[in-house]
């Protein structure tokens, strides 16, 4: 391990478990400090308690007796993600069509799916949040430019009648052709021209951001107010920013600030290959600051997180392993030898797995 400051930080292994399962682990996620949700290469989803070592089969993604899909259905061998929020478990293929939602409290299992138009380069849009009454809600993609929000207690789709047209689309079109010659002979207004992808909910659960993209192609991050998205028949969004298309890491720093990985040479063609963390206003006012790293790191393809407790950015990638960066740009900790499969923000734990073995690490 390599420490970058006077304060010693150690990566400590707190669990090392060999599971008694027939097939290997495909992906895993914590649903509590001591409980893991595990997807196997066979497509079985298990709950594993690291204290009691109890292993419970929750459901099968492709049961032998069930609905058969023309495309084969859920692919347990494909890249997948497990999302959890208390009794809610969502398992989806990241770059394919299918997924499942298990509500352990209400005792039901739902199959969800989206159309496959450019799904191979658009991560399945999934996010979980609670409303003011404490009911769990799911934001999920059904098409490249179409999201739904469902109450997971009642199973009601709250956005079932939502238009795919942006707010003031008609007036924007009229104003545009007051300045330019009429060349577009298509019917108007046209549907929302945006590819939703990875979704992130703000700390106060009032807004969500899509780390999606538009034709060009380039990353285009947009923010939506949850109540407005549910109640407004049209789509209203805030433009956070756009950059070269490389699925860059991003996170909420707080309710007013978004952090985004930024490459100087890629964005500005300045000849400097250094990476920075740029900070943006959530209200669309653009850039509000930047974190310049004291020591250069290759952040291409890295995941970005922010931990409020120590006011540091956590970065994970196959190129650099784990790095912790302060607000001043100091690399507080780095370990290139350990590349975790997943970072659990809620528990501040790192997950690693291979075949039937799973390990949990903590920074202390």
Strand partners, 112: 99
- Residue at which a domain ends, from 113, 128, 162: 113
Peptide bond connecting 189 to the previous residue in cis, omega within 30 degrees of 0: yes
Task: Let me know if residue 197 belongs to a domain.
Answer: yes
- Residue at which a domain ends, from 76, 98, 113: 113
164 with 58, same domain: the answer is no
Predicted confidence at residue 8, as pLDDT, reads 62
Phi, psi of 304 (to 5 degrees): -125, 135
pLDDT tens across 261-312, in order? 999 988 887 877 899 999 999 999 999 999 999 999 999 999 999 999 999 9
pLDDT tens across 27-52, in order? 999 999 999 999 999 999 999 999 99
Question: Does residue 257 contact residue 251 with C-beta atoms inside 8 Å?
Answer: no
135 with 89, same domain: the answer is no
Whether the predicted pLDDT of 3 surpasses 70: no
Nearest to 127 by CA among 168, 99, 160: 99
Strand partners, 74: none
What CA–CA distances, in Å, run from 8 to 11, 327, 344, 362?
10, 18, 22, 14
Average pLDDT over residues 134-138: 97
Average pLDDT over residues 338-355: 95
pLDDT tens across 84-117, in order? 999 999 999 999 999 999 999 999 999 999 999 9
Question: Does residue 271 contact residue 201 with C-beta atoms inside 8 Å?
Answer: no
Task: Let me know if residue 119 belongs to a domain.
Answer: yes
Containing structural domain, residue 291: 248-346
What domain count does the chain have? 3
Task: Let me know if residue 177 belongs to a domain.
Answer: no
Question: Does residue 358 contact residue 15 with C-beta atoms inside 8 Å?
Answer: yes
Task: Let me know if residue 179 belongs to a domain.
Answer: no
Task: Let me know if residue 5 belongs to a domain.
Answer: no
124 with 77, same domain: the answer is no
Predicted confidence at residue 186, as pLDDT, reads 85
85 with 139, same domain: the answer is no
Please state, in angstroms and rounded to a whole number, the distance separating the CA atoms of residues 95 and 79.
7
pLDDT tens across 114-124, in order? 999 999 999 99
Average pLDDT taken over every residue of the chain: 94
Q: 51: number of CA atoms within 13 Å, CB side?
A: 4
240 with 124, same domain: the answer is yes
Predicted confidence at residue 323, as pLDDT, reads 96
* Strands across the sheet containing 11-18: 11-18, 357-363, 349-354, 342-344
Task: Let me know if residue 6 belongs to a domain.
Answer: no
Predicted confidence at residue 7, as pLDDT, reads 60
142 with 234, same domain: the answer is yes
pTM for the structure as a whole: 0.95
156 with 240, same domain: the answer is yes
Task: Let me know if residue 184 belongs to a domain.
Answer: no
Taking CA 48 as the corner, what is the angle to CA 44 and CA 54, rounded to the nearest 5 degrees?
115
59 with 27, same domain: the answer is yes
106 with 31, same domain: the answer is yes
227 with 295, same domain: the answer is no
200 with 312, same domain: the answer is no
Whether the predicted pLDDT of 364 surpasses 80: yes
Please state, in angstroms and rounded to a whole number, the distance separating the CA atoms of residues 283 and 342.
30
Task: Let me know if residue 4 belongs to a domain.
Answer: no
107 with 134, same domain: the answer is no
User: Using 50, 70 and 90 to split pLDDT, how confident is the model at 67?
Assistant: confident
Taking CA 296 as the corner, what is the angle to CA 290 and CA 298, rounded to the nearest 5 degrees?
95
């Amino acid at each position: 391990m390599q420490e970058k400051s006077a304060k010693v930080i150690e990566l400590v292994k707190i669990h090392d478990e060999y599971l008694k399962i027939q097939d290997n682990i495909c992906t895993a996620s914590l649903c509590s400090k001591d409980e893991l949700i595990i997807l196997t290469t066979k497509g079985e989803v298990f709950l594993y308690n690291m204290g009691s070592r109890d292993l419970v089969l929750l459901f099968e993604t492709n049961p032998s007796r069930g609905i058969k899909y023309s495309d084969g259905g859920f692919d347990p061998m494909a890249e997948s993600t497990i999302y959890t929020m208390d009794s809610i478990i969502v398992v989806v293929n990241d770059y394919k069509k299918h997924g499942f939602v298990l509500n352990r409290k209400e005792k039901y299992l739902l199959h969800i799916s989206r159309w496959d138009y450019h799904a191979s380069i658009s991560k399945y849009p999934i996010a979980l949040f609670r409303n003011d009454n404490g009911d769990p809600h799911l934001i999920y993609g059904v098409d490249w430019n179409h999201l739904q929000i469902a109450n997971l207690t009642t199973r009601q789709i709250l956005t079932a009648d939502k238009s795919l047209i942006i707010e003031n689309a008609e007036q924007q079109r009229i104003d545009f052709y007051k300045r330019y010659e009429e060349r577009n002979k298509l019917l108007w207004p046209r549907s929302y021209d945006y590819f939703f992808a990875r979704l992130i909910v703000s700390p106060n659960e009032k807004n969500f951001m899509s780390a999606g993209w538009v034709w060009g192609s380039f990353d285009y991050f947009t923010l939506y107010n949850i109540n407005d998205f549910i109640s407004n028949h049209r789509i209203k969004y805030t433009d956070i920013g756009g950059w070269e298309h490389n699925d860059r890491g991003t996170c909420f720093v707080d309710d007013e600030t978004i952090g985004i990985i930024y490459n100087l040479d890629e964005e500005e063609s300045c000849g400097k290959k250094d990476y920075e963390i740029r900070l943006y206003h959530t209200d669309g006012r653009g850039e509000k600051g930047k974190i310049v790293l004291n020591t250069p790191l290759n952040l291409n393809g890295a995941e970005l997180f922010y931990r409020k407790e120590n006011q540091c950015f956590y970065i994970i990638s196959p190129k650099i392993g784990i790095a912790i960066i302060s607000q001043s740009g100091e690399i507080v900790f780095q370990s290139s030898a350990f590349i975790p499969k997943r970072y659990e923000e809620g528990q501040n734990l790192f997950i690693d797995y291979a075949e039937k073995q799973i390990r949990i690490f903590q920074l202390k």
